[in-house]
Amino acid sequence: MIGSWDAAITMPGHQPLVGRWEARYLLDGQIVLDHLQIVDRAGRPLRSVATLRTWVPSDRCWTATFLYAEAPRQHVELRGSRDGDEIHLTAHDLESGATATVRFFDITATTFRWEQRNHADHDVEDPAIAIRCTRASTNEAGT
């Protein structure tokens, strides 16, 4: 899923949003930087988030740190692995203790979907955020 992606974002209680998801390798391919910028209909930035993720061979899992530009003190760690044709991660907010599950699915060379479900009182709520990505037409990078 390396490359540039056009993102259609839905969140309960909000109008549909759009954005750009950029994924690229850092440190000779040892780390992946995912950057999602959500914009309003006029193209003005509303939110910017980044994830630094790396594969841990000894644990056979991804570990990641999720960073919010608008809330620099919020620190979320993720850990997960492939589950069939999907990637499942558990997110843990180190400050509040809140947890969520994140799922990448319907992954192809030209599309993927992402959703986050927040956990409250051990019940899973409806998706808090759902993103449908389509490879940007100007991108020639592979998955």
pLDDT of residue 119: 78
* pLDDT tens sequence across 121-131: 555 556 688 99
Question: Is 140 within a domain?
Answer: no
* CATH code of the domain containing 36: 2.40.128.20
pLDDT of residue 114: 93
How crowded is residue 13: how many other Cβ atoms within 10 Å of its Cβ? 4
Question: Is 141 within a domain?
Answer: no
Question: Is 143 within a domain?
Answer: no
Q: Model-level pTM greater than 0.85? A: no
Question: Is 63 within a domain?
Answer: yes
Question: Is 142 within a domain?
Answer: no
Question: Is 101 within a domain?
Answer: yes
* pLDDT tens sequence across 20-48: 999 999 999 899 999 999 987 788 888 88
**Low-confidence spans in the chain with pLDDT less than 50:** 139-143
Domain count, the chain: 1
Question: Is 103 within a domain?
Answer: yes
DSSP category for residue 142? -
DSSP category for residue 109? S
pLDDT of residue 13: 78
pLDDT of residue 142: 46
Contact 2, 32 (CB under 8 A): yes
Q: Domain residues for 21?
A: 3-135
Question: Is 75 within a domain?
Answer: yes
